[in-house]
Amino acid sequence: MGRVYLARSDRGRTVAVKLVKTELSGQDDFRARFRHEVQAARRVGGEWTAPVLDADTEAETPWVATGYIAGPSLRQVITEGRTPLPERSVRILAGGLAGALRSIHAAGIVHRDLKPSNILLTIDGPKVIDFGIARALEAVTVGGGLTRTNQAVGSPGFMSPEQVRGRPVTPATDVFCLGSVLMFAATGRLPFGGSDSGVHALMYRIAQEDPDLTGLPYGLHSLVAACLAKDPAQRPTPDQLIAYTRSDDDAHEPWLPGALIAELGRHAVELLDAENPNGAYEDSGASEGSHQDPSGSYGAPGRSWENGERSWGHHEAAQEQTPTPAPT
């Protein structure tokens, strides 16, 4: 998709500046969709999302600046820590993500790509990022032009049946993706397996087979299974999920295990250290470390300075963002 720069606004606020790749910025269809989605994303509020603070969709290199979330992704926490979250933490995670989806849907947006690398964890709770980005990517194919109706854009392991079939998406689509995210958070596994046997086989299982909830704590079964209903009309709404999980959110107790809370605190201090302008940070979905742009200041023109750089959606781009023929 592009590059993300850790930067500061002229008022001293730490922000994430996302610049679109050159090959995308030259496509009128993408620009139009990106412009529309950024305008919609500006309307998203709430405590569970990273707010859109500024943007220039008409620039030679379009960019958008969002509030910076000083925390690792859910993907990092589970894969690098190799320890699933406890049941209570997953239920609180579900409530926070449902709150984020409620705010996103209220702005007329369907996220379309809710996955662990788009969920950042903080001491105060989870934060959802990159809402609307997948919608913009639907405007292009690898070679340019509009996507065909038999193509799907998204992250195969976290897609819904309607996405893999190339059918219209609704807010219920995000709820299905949420179910897969919760399964991953609680077990480190995906409900329909991985793509080792091939992306098309994975997409077939999502569309046709029941989820494998092996290893999921009993207390989470009904919650996750409801989200993973094949029929969108049978899935709970974000409001219903919030009500269902509300009793687990005890404000007097940390929502994550103590060791992870301590790690998040150290992580935040390291990333927000104003005395380290050359520091870089990793993409939650990246397999390689970040690096500095040798050209110096780069980002929102005249509004930020570079503090670090990471790829925006490049790690899993071939599998996640490339339009994939949907199974019949």
Q: How far apart are CA 319 and CA 306, in angstroms?
A: 29
Tokens of 301: 């023109």
Give me Rg for the CA atoms of the chain. 19
Q: How far apart are CA 264 and CA 280, in angstroms?
A: 17
DSSP state for residue 143 in the 8-state scheme = T
Q: Which of 55, 15, 65, 51 is nearest to 35 (CA)?
A: 55
Instruction: Give bridge partners of residue 2 from the DSSP assignment.
Output: 20, 312
Q: How far apart are CA 15 and CA 50, in angstroms?
A: 10
Q: Which of the residues 10, 29, 54, 113 is marked catalytic?
A: 113
How many residues are given for the chain?
A: 328
Is 113 an active-site residue? yes
Instruction: Give bridge partners of residue 233 from the DSSP assignment.
Output: none
- Do 177 and 158 meet the contact criterion of CB atoms below 8 Å apart? yes
Q: Which of 16, 111, 26 is nearest to 64 (CA)?
A: 16
The residues carrying an active-site annotation are: 113
